[in-house]
Amino acid sequence: MDFALDDDQALIVQTVRRFVDKDLRGWAGDADRAGAAPVRLTTVAGELGFFTDAVPEAAGGLLDGPYPHLTRALRGLELGRGCSAMAALLECNVEPALAVARWGSAVAQAALFASLVDGGRATTGRDARGRLALTAAGDGVRVTGTVGPLPALAHASHVLLCAHQGGAPVVLLVPTALGTVTARAPSAWRAAAWGTLALADAEIPGDHVVARGADGADATAAVLAWHRTSLAARATGVAIAAIEHARHYGTERVQFGRPIGQFEALIGLADDADTASAAARLMTLHAAWLLDRAHDGPSWAAAADAASRARVVAADAVGRATVDAVQIFGGYGFVNDYPVEKLMRDARPYAQLVGDERFDRILAEVAPTGA
Amino acid sequence: MDIFHDNPMLTGVRQMLGAFATQYIRKVAPLHDREESMPWALMKQAQSFGMSQTAVVDGRKALTGKDDADDGAGKPSTQGRLGVVGSEELAYGCAGICLAIGGSGLAASPVARMGTEEQKQEFRRLLQGDDEHGHLKVAAMALSEPSTGSDISSLSTTARLDGDHYVLSGHKQWITNGQSAAVYVVWAQTDPAAGRAGVRGFLVARGTPGLVPGRKEHKLGIRASETAQVHFEDCRVHKDLMLGVGAESKGLADTKKMLDSTRPMVGAQAVGIARAAFEYLVERVAGGTHHGTPLATHQRIAFELAEMEMEIQAARALVHKAAWMADHRQDNVRMASIAKAYGAKVAQAVTSRALTLLGDEALEPDHPVEKWYRDAKIYDIFEGTGQIQRRIIARSLLGVNPT
C-alpha cells in the first residue's frame, strides 16, 4: 500500500497545476461569460499533451503503452480546480480514443485518429434511459433520436455512443456528419461547446459499430468506468476549489466584528466539505488505480464498481461544497463577480451526465443480466 | 385545502394567482431569466389584478375587495395568510418575476408601518404613472451595504442634519429595483452615538441630486428581478421625508420587525419553487420510461417523489402556521424564522435532487428545473441567511446568541 505519487505523476500534477493557476483560472470567468473557450486554449493545452494523449503513437498520437488512468485522475483533480468547461474540452477525446483503439475496426480507428490528430474533438454519450431507437441495418445499425446535450459535441467530428439494440448494449462511433448538430448553451460549463446530435434513420456502418455482443457489455462498462472516474476527479477538483475560495473569503469578510470564517457554523460547512472532498478524492484515485490494474473478470468488475461509486460520492461532494461555498459568500456568492457562483452552476453536470449510478446498481441487482 | 385555508377569499386568491402563474408568468420566465430583464409588461398586467406597486401602502382592498379594517376589531387579520398564499403561487410561476412584481412592497412596507399620511401620499405620488420608457414605476428598499450583509447593525451610510435637510452619504448593495426605482427608502445612521436607535429610513425620489443608481448585478438566479448598487453622494433629503419621527421610531429595530413580517412570505416563495420542480418531476415520471419500463414503477424514482412531497407539505404547513400566528397577533418570530429557513432548505434539496433524477435532459438550456435550482439558492441568503435564522431560533430556545 503506497499513497505517494511516483516521479512521473508528481511532475504531471505540478505541470497541470501550474497551467491551471497561470492560465485556466484566469481564463475561466471570461470564457464563462463569452460562452466559449479562448482560442489559445488549444495551443497551450496541445503543447502540454492534451487532446491526443489517448491516441496511439502509431496513429500520430502520444500514447505509448497502456493508458495511465491514475495519472489522468490526478490531472482531472487539478483541471477541476481550474475550470469545468475547459476541463471537459481537454478530457473529451480520451474515451473515444481508448474505446476505438481497443475494440474498433481499422476503418473506425483510421477515421477517428485522423480527426483527433488533426485537432478534432470527439465526445462520449450514453442513452441512459433507452430513448434512442436502434435497429439493424445490414451489418450496421440504424439510429433515430437525439443524442445529448453533451460537452464538446458542437465541435466534435465523432460521438462515442453507449446505447442498446434489442436489449443488448452496443458501443457506436457516430460521425456527427450523419446527423444534425445543434450548439446548445446551458448555464453549466458554458464554454464547453455543448451540442445535441439529431439522428433520423442515420445508418452507422458496421465498421463503426465499435462493440456489440459480449464485447458490447465489456466496452460499455469500460467506457462508463473511464468516464465516471474522470468526471469524479474533475468534480472533486471543483469541490476543492469552492472550499479554497470560501475559506479565503471567510478570513476577509468581517460581520459582527469578526471574520465570518471564525463562526462555528461556517467552519462546520467548510469542514464538512473538506471531509466529503477528501473521501471523493480517495475513492476516485482508488477507482483509477484499479482501472490501471484491471484485467478481465473480477478485477475489471471491481474497477467498474469503484468508478461508479466514486462518481456518486464526488458528484454529491461537489454539489454540497459549491452550494455551501455560495452560502459562505452570502450575497456576494450569488453574483457573478465572485468565482463561486460559476462553480455552483458548474457542479450540476457531474451529477447528471451518463445516467444515475445508484439506479444502475439497483437495477443490476434486481435483474443481474441487465446492463 | 388545509386547515388554514377554509376561507373562500384565500382560495380565490390562490386560484387566481395560480392561473396567472401558469398562463402568463411561466411563458415569459425563461426569456427574462436568459436576458436578465425585468418583466415590465407582466408587471402592468399584475397591476390589473390588484398587485400594484403601492399595494402594501394601500392595503389589500384592490386584491380582495376588503380592507383590514373590515375584519372588525379583535378579529384575526387575513393579511399574513393572504401573503403566503399569493407568494407561493407567484413563485411557483417564477421566483424572479414574483420578486419583480413584489419588489416595491419591500420599500412600501416601512412607509405603511411608520410613514405619516403625507409620506404615504408622497410615496403614492412618486409611483404614479409610467416612466420615460413606458414602464410602471417601482420602489426600492435600500438597507444592505457592501460591508453590511447579515450584520445590519453596522450600517455605515450616514444622514447628517443640515438646516431643513438631511445629507445622505454611503453605498448600498444588493438593492432590488436599485437601478430603475422611482423612489428609494434608504436606511442611514442619523446619530452614530445612538447606535441602532439612530438608524432612520428616508424617502428619496429618483433624480434627487447625489442619488446615483449603480451597476446592475449579474446573478445566479432570480434574474427577472433587478439587483443593483445604489450610491448616495451628499444627497440632500428634506427632513419631512424621514420615516418614524421622534418616539415612534425604534431605529433599526423597525427594520428587523419588518423582516420578521416578510419571512413567512419568503418561505412561501421557496415552497412555490420546490412545488414547481416537484410537479414537473411528477409529470415526467408519470409519462417516462427507463428502457421501456414505466419510471413510476421504480421505487428508486417514486420514493424520491414521496420524500419530496413530505418535505414540501411540511414546509408549507410551517409557513402557514407562521402566517396564521401573525394574523392572530401572536409572537411568531421563532416560527417565521423556522418557516423561512426550512422553506429554503426544501427548495434547494428538491430542485437539486430533481435535476439529478432528470439527468442529462435537464442539461438543456432554459430547462425550468435548472432555473429553479438557481433561483432557490437566494432563499437561504436574502432576508436573513439560513445561519441568521438558526441564530434567531436558537436564541429563542436558549436565551443566548450562539457564535
Q: Which of A154-168, A284-298, B186-200 has the highest mean pLDDT?
A: A154-168
User: Which residues on A lie below 8 Å from B358 (Cβ)?
Assistant: 352
- Selected catalytic residue, list B88, B122, B145, B383: B383
DSSP summary character for residue B364: S
CA distances from A48 to A10, B88, B128 (A): 15, 52, 63
Mean pLDDT of A273-289: 97
The whole-number pLDDT of residue B74 equals 72
pLDDT at A349 over 60: yes
Average pLDDT along chain B: 91
Give the strands of the sheet with A156-165, arranged side by side: A121-126, A156-165, A168-175, A209-211
pLDDT at B64 over 50: yes
The number of angstroms, rounded, from the C-alpha of A229 to the middle of its chain's C-alpha atoms is: 8
> Does the beta-carbon distance from B217 to A337 stay under 8 Å?
yes
Partner residue opposite B360 with nearest CB, options A333, A352, A358: A352
User: Which residues on A lie below 8 Å from B382 (Cβ)?
Assistant: 331
What is the number of CB-based contacts under 8 A between chain A and chain B? Answer: 132
Residue of chain A nearest B388, judged by CA positions? A265
Taking the Cβ of residue B284 and every Cβ of chain A, the question of whether any pair is shorter than 8 Å is answered with: no
Task: Tell me the pLDDT band of B58, cut-offs 50, 70 and 90.
Answer: confident
ipTM for the complex?
0.94
pLDDT at B5 over 80: no
Mean pLDDT of B201-220: 96
The whole-number pLDDT of residue A40 equals 95
Give the distance from residue A256's alpha carbon to the nearest chain B alpha carbon, in angstroms.
6
Residues of chain B numbered 335-374 and touching chain A (CB < 8 Å): 348, 352, 355-360, 362-365, 367, 370, 373-374
Give the strands of the sheet with A133-137, arranged side by side: A133-137, A140-150, A195-204, A180-183
pLDDT at B66 over 90: no
Calpha distance B60→B369 (Å, rounded): 32
Calpha distance A192→A184 (Å, rounded): 10
The whole-number pLDDT of residue B61 equals 61
Lowest mean pLDDT of A39-43, B52-56, B292-296, name the range: B52-56
For the entire predicted model, the pTM comes to 0.95
Mean pLDDT of B283-299: 94
pLDDT at A370 over 50: no
Residues in chain B: 403
The whole-number pLDDT of residue A371 equals 44
Q: pLDDT (tens digit, 9 = 90+) per residue, A58-87?
A: 999 999 999 999 999 999 999 999 999 999
pLDDT at B57 over 80: no
The whole-number pLDDT of residue B54 equals 81
Q: What share of chain B in percent tops pLDDT 90?
A: 73
**CA angle A329-A333-A337, nearest 5°?**
120
Identify any residues that bridge with B246 across adjacent strands, giving them in sequence order: none
pLDDT at A313 over 90: yes
Calpha distance B62→B51 (Å, rounded): 8
- Is the Cβ–Cβ distance between A174 and A197 less than 8 Å? yes
Mean pLDDT of A126-148: 96
Task: Tell me the pLDDT band of B147, cut-offs 50, 70 and 90.
Answer: confident
Calpha distance B378→B342 (Å, rounded): 13
Give the distance from residue A175's alpha carbon to the nearest chain B alpha carbon, in angstroms.
21
Calpha distance A261→B61 (Å, rounded): 47
Q: pLDDT (tens digit, 9 = 90+) per residue, A80-114?
A: 999 999 999 999 999 999 999 999 999 999 999 99
Calpha distance A326→A311 (Å, rounded): 22
User: Which residues on A lie below 8 Å from B390 (Cβ)?
Assistant: 265
Q: pLDDT (tens digit, 9 = 90+) per residue, A167-219?
A: 999 999 999 999 999 999 999 999 999 999 999 999 999 999 999 998 999 99
Residue of chain B nearest A163, judged by CA positions? B291
- Is the Cβ–Cβ distance between A158 and A175 less than 8 Å? yes
Average pLDDT along chain A: 95
pLDDT at A147 over 50: yes
User: Which residues on A lie below 8 Å from B387 (Cβ)?
Assistant: 263, 265-266, 327
Residues of chain B numbered 203-262 and touching chain A (CB < 8 Å): 217-221, 227
Partner residue opposite A351 with nearest CB, options B298, B356, B402: B356
- Is the Cβ–Cβ distance between B154 and B123 less than 8 Å? no
Of B261, B220, B262, B279, the C-alpha closest to B18 is B279
Q: pLDDT (tens digit, 9 = 90+) per residue, A332-345?
A: 999 999 999 999 99
Higher pLDDT: B78 or B72? It is B78
User: Which residues on A lie below 8 Å from B144 (Cβ)?
Assistant: 331
Taking the Cβ of residue A213 and every Cβ of chain B, the question of whether any pair is shorter than 8 Å is answered with: no
Work out the burial of residue B128: count CB atoms within 10 Å of its CB; fewer than 13 is exposed, 13-18 middle, 19 or more buried.
exposed
Cβ atoms < 10 Å from Cβ of A136: 11
Taking the Cβ of residue A188 and every Cβ of chain B, the question of whether any pair is shorter than 8 Å is answered with: yes
Give the distance from residue B9's alpha carbon to the nearest chain A alpha carbon, in angstroms.
36
pLDDT at B4 over 70: no
The whole-number pLDDT of residue B1 equals 36
User: Which residues on B lie below 8 Å from A88 (Cβ)?
Assistant: none
Mean pLDDT of A47-58: 95
Catalytic (active site) residue B383: yes
Task: Tell me the pLDDT band of B368, cut-offs 50, 70 and 90.
Answer: very high
Task: Tell me the pLDDT band of B69, cut-offs 50, 70 and 90.
Answer: low
Taking the Cβ of residue A185 and every Cβ of chain B, the question of whether any pair is shorter than 8 Å is answered with: yes
Residues of chain A numbered 101-130 and touching chain B (CB < 8 Å): 128-130
Mean pLDDT of A34-40: 96
Partner residue opposite B151 with nearest CB, options A194, A256, A341: A256
The whole-number pLDDT of residue A44 equals 93
Lowest mean pLDDT of A127-136, A263-272, B60-69, name the range: B60-69
The whole-number pLDDT of residue B299 equals 94
Residue of chain A nearest B294, judged by CA positions? A129
DSSP summary character for residue A227: H
Calpha distance A82→A78 (Å, rounded): 7
